[in-house]
Amino acid sequence: MSNPQTISNAVANLYNTYPFPPEPLLDEPPPGYNWRWHWTSAYNFCTGEKPTHQDIRILDAGCGTGVGTEYLVHLNPEASVVGIDLSPGPLEVARERCQRSGAARVEFHHLSLFDVEQIPGEFDLINCVGVLHHTPDPIGGIKALAKKLAPGGLLHVFVYGELGRWEIQLMQKAIALLQGDKRGDYRDGVNVGRQVFASLPENNRLVQYEKRRWGMENMRDECFADMYVHPQEIDYNVETVFELIDASGLDFVGFSNSGFWDIERLLGKAPELIERAKSFSERQLYRLIELLDPEISHYEFFLSRPPLTRNTWSDNAALMETIPERHPCMEGWPGKSIFNYDYQVVKLSDAEFEFLQACDAKSTVAEILTNVQLDLDEIRKIQQKQLIILSK
């Protein structure tokens, strides 16, 4: 299946058969948050400061049934949102989903990534999650999206990783072999795959991996089909994912799951090896990390169109004059044990708690520190943990 249109038709047929993601439709805003879909949080992560405006344009490129689109609308109340998708079936679900939950500021178009130029204007935030690796030409797809990104805008991308999906690849190939001439009949593919998993010994590696990583999710046929009988998938490693990034012509800002890419997490008990790794390029370091922890099943990262500058707040005088506010994506506040933007537990010291209490989006750091015993380096650590957002 090498013809691009044949591939696109097969992908559309899969998702018309099994609309994805299969999350339930609600008559209220969706629960919780995903900070990557929250403009202020995403911009702060990428630049270290609050964006100057909220009335932005957002594109959900490959929106499927609108799960991400719905969050994009509700998390960004001043933004206008556009969703596009190749498959008409999921688009109908997306329209109903957003209508039912009150996400009215959205328009949907039946378009592929490669036809995005038909939408006028540029976008400040483009979300493209789980899409490029299912296209016949990911480089062409990311180039098309890059052309629609406004100066200073952010593109968030999610693509599959080959190391953490090795067992999935084996099962995909096994199901395809067993389907034979029936390949492309996605209901048959799901049935074959279910029978294979039910028949394999309990200690089989593929069975164990499925149970440990994906079992709950794949109880739904839509998820099982998306994982195991997809007609088009390209999996990446660090080297090939940066080939994709370089082809976009955009700047790499960073991985949005940055904790995974910390070498201290893996070699912290071997300081001599950490020292050796200091001579590595950024990409060599990333490659080392994925080789040492091959569980990674995907890459998620931000790209930007210049100009986009990062503020580290190294200037003490400038930091004192900033106005801090609590990060909008956290749960459990007020409390000294909270869930941060990434739903990780953070325990606050008494002084940190007092500081966050005083962050009223009006007072400067200098004003707050007249009553709170923290130094500026501790403020910087709070900011680096994404607990506060600073504005000039």
Number of domains in the chain: 3
State whether the Cα torsion 110-112-117-122 is positive or negative: positive
pLDDT band per the 50, 70, 90 thresholds, residue 217: very high
Mean pLDDT of 312-336: 97
- Total residue length of the chain: 392
Residue 1, pLDDT above cutoff 70: no
Same domain, 59 and 178: no
Based on the fold, state whether residues 174 and 39 are members of the same structural domain.
no
2 has a pLDDT exceeding 80? no
| Domain containing residue 369 | 316-391
Among the candidates 211, 228, 245, a domain finishes at 228
* Last residue in a domain, options 304, 328, 351: 304
Q: Is residue 310 in a domain?
A: no
Domain-embedded: residue 350: yes
> Looking at the structure, do residues 37 and 152 belong to the same domain, yes or no?
yes
* Claim to verify: residue 130 and residue 54 sit in the same structural domain: yes
- Cβ–Cβ under 8 Å, residues 51 and 257: no
Residue 77 lies in a domain: yes
Indicate if 288 and 214 belong to the same structural domain. no
45 lies in the same domain as 128: yes
Q: What is the pLDDT of residues 8-25, one digit of tens each?
A: 999 999 999 999 999 999
Q: What is the chain's mean pLDDT, rounded?
A: 97
DSSP per-residue codes, 302-329? EEEPSP--------HHHHHT-EEEE-SS
Residue 54 is encoded by which pair of tokens? 């909220």
Last residue of a domain, one of 304, 324, 348: 304
Does a structural domain hold residue 309?
Answer: no
State the DSSP code for 387: S
Give the mean pLDDT of 271-297: 97
Same domain? For 135 and 65 the reply is: yes
The mean pLDDT value for 111-121 works out to 97
